Amino acid sequence: MKKIFLILLLLIVFNSAYSQYFTPRQLFPGLFEVVQLSDIFPDNKTFVDATPKRDQAAIMKDYNDQKDKPDFNLKKFVSDNFIIPGTHNDGFKSDISAGIRKHIDTLWQVLYRKHDTVSRYSSLLPLPNDFIVPGGRFRETYYWDSYFTMLGLQESHKTKIIQNMIGNFAYLIDKFGFIPNGNRTYYLTRSQPPFFSMMIDLLAKDEGDNVLIKYQSELLKEYTFWMRSAGTLEPGQAYRNVVRMPGGEILNRYWDESDKPREESFKKDVNAAKETKQKTEDFYRNIRAAAESGWDFSTRWLDTTGKLETIQTTFIIPIDLNCLIYHLELTIAKSYHLQGNENKYQVYLTKALIRKKAIQKYCWSAENSWFMDYNWKLKHTTPNETLAGVYPLEFNIADSTQAFKVATGIKTKFLKTGGLVTTLKRSGQQWDSPNAWAPLQYMAIDGLNKYHQTGLARSIAENWIKTNLQVFNDTGKLMEKYNVIDTDVKAGGGEYPLQDGFGWTNGVLLNLLNHYHIDQL
C-alpha cells in the first residue's frame, strides 16, 4: 500500500507545472537505467536528450506492463515512445574552396538555435533568446564554451547574438541562482568555469560600461552561488564550492550537488566506480566536479598514478577557477564604482586583492616556476603542470618575474608544432597531452600579450592557426580539439567520438585570424 501511495505521489509531482525540471532518470525510473546500461545508443547522452512522444505516466505504465514479456524489444519500445535527437548539423556540407572565413560565417547559421517552446518532459530547459550551440552531440547552450564562441561572434559583428546569449545566462542566474553547465535538467546540479563577468567585459567593448550596471544583480547572484557559506567555515574546512585555507583565506573548488552517476555518462560512471577504492558517492562527486571544471578528464584531478579511479577533484583548489572569481570580484567592484558607490566598490576590491594574494601564496610554485593547482587536503601544490597555469597572466595576477618564468615554461614545455598541449602527461584522457583546446590557446596568447611576450604569443597563434587550417583543408571541418604533437593524427581520448562544429574553435580561430591579420599560412 505504501509503495502504491509513493507511485501515485510521484505521478502527481511529475504531472505538475514543474515537471520539466525533473531529470530523465527521475521521470523514467527503471527504464532509464535499462536503456543507459544497454548498447542501444553508443552515447549515453542520446537518451537523456530524447523527447518523449507522449505522457510520461503512460510510457512508464506501458513499460512496466511489457518489460517482462518474452517478446519485449527494448530498442523498439524506445523508438516508439521517444524522438531520438540528431546533431542538427549532420546534413551540412562545407565548401573548402570558399575559405575558412566563409566557412565560419556559414557555421554561425548552422549552429544557431531558436528558443522554441520546450516539449513537456524534455530535459531541455527553456531560454528566452536564440543562441549558438557548440555543435555535434552538444545540442544545447554551454556556459564556458559560449565565451569563446562570443570572441568570434564579436569579430563577425554579431553583437545581437552576444546580447541574446548573455540575456539567457542572466535569465538562468535569476531562475536558478547560477548558470548550469548547460540548459538541461540533468545539468542543474553544477555550473562551469564562471566566465559570465568576462562575457560582460566583451559586450562592454561594443555597448559601453553601462552593461556592468545592467547585469550587476546577476553578477552578485553568481558570486553568491560560488561563495555559499564561506563565512561559516574554519581553516581547513570546505563546503560546496568554498574552502577556508590554513591562513584563513577563502578560495574556491569545483563541486556538484549530486553524488550519483552522471545521467549523460551513466554507464561509464557506473563501470568506472567499480575500479575505485573511494566510497562510491565520493567517486561520483569527484567525477561530477571535474565535469564542472570543463576538464573532463585530466591527470590534473588524479593522484600520481594517473588512473581515473583515483580522481580527487574536490580536494583541489584550481588556479583557473580562482582567477575567474578574482575577475568576477573586480567586475562587481567596477560596477559599484560606476554607480558612485565607493563603499561597496572598496568591499569587492578588497575581496579581489585578498584573493590575488592567496593565489600567489598557495598556487605559485617556485620549484616548478609555474602556477599550480593546490591540494587543500595535503596542503601542497599538486604535481601536475597544466596549461591552467597561464590564467594568472590573462588576469594580471602574475608579477613580471613570474610572467617571464611562465613564458619560458610555455616555450620549452608546452609549445608544440601544432599549438600548446594541455598537460605534459599522456594518459588517454582528452584533457591531457597530446591534445589541445581552443580556449586554452586563447588564454595563453592573450595573457602573454598582456606581459609584452608578443613574439611567443604570435608563434603560438600561428602554430594553432596552421593546425586548424590543415585539418579544415583535409576534412572541411573545425574540430572540438586537436592533436598538436602528431598533427596528422586526430585528437583522441574522452567519453565520446571527436566532435566537429565547433563553437569555441570557430570563435578563437576567427579572433586570432583577425588579430594577426592572417588569411593563410
pLDDT of residue 259: 98
Contact 393, 451 (CB under 8 A): yes
In the residue annotation, 257 being an active-site residue is answered as no
What are the residue ranges of helices labelled H in 73-178? Answer: 74-81, 100-110, 143-155, 159-176
Q: Which is catalytic among the residues 292, 329, 432, 480? A: 480
Active-site annotation holds for 296 = yes
**Interatomic CA distance for residues 348 and 343, integer angstroms:** 9
What pLDDT does 495 receive? 79
Query: Which residues fall within 8 angstroms of residue 493, CB to CB, at 6 or more apart?
Result: 427, 428, 429, 430, 431, 432, 435
Q: Is 514 exposed, middle or buried (0-12, 13-18, 19+ CB in 10 A)?
A: middle
**β 374-375/316-317 pair status:** antiparallel
pLDDT for the residue numbered 292: 98
Task: Tell me how far apart the terminal alpha carbons of the chain are, to the nearest angstrom.
Answer: 73
Q: What is the pLDDT along the chain (521 residues), one digit of tens a residue?
A: 444 444 444 444 434 433 458 999 999 999 999 999 998 999 999 999 999 999 999 999 999 999 999 999 999 999 999 999 985 555 677 788 889 999 999 999 999 999 877 888 999 999 999 999 999 999 999 999 999 999 999 999 999 999 999 999 999 999 999 999 999 999 999 999 999 999 999 999 999 999 999 999 999 999 999 999 999 999 999 999 999 999 999 999 999 999 999 999 999 999 999 999 999 999 999 999 999 999 999 999 999 899 999 999 999 999 999 999 999 999 999 999 999 999 999 999 999 999 999 999 999 999 999 999 999 999 999 999 999 999 999 999 999 999 999 999 999 999 999 999 999 999 999 999 999 999 999 999 999 999 999 999 999 999 999 999 999 999 999 999 999 999 989 887 877 788 888 999 999 999 999 999 997 66
Q: What is the pLDDT of residue 88?
A: 57
- Options 145, 263, 264, 296, the catalytic residue: 296
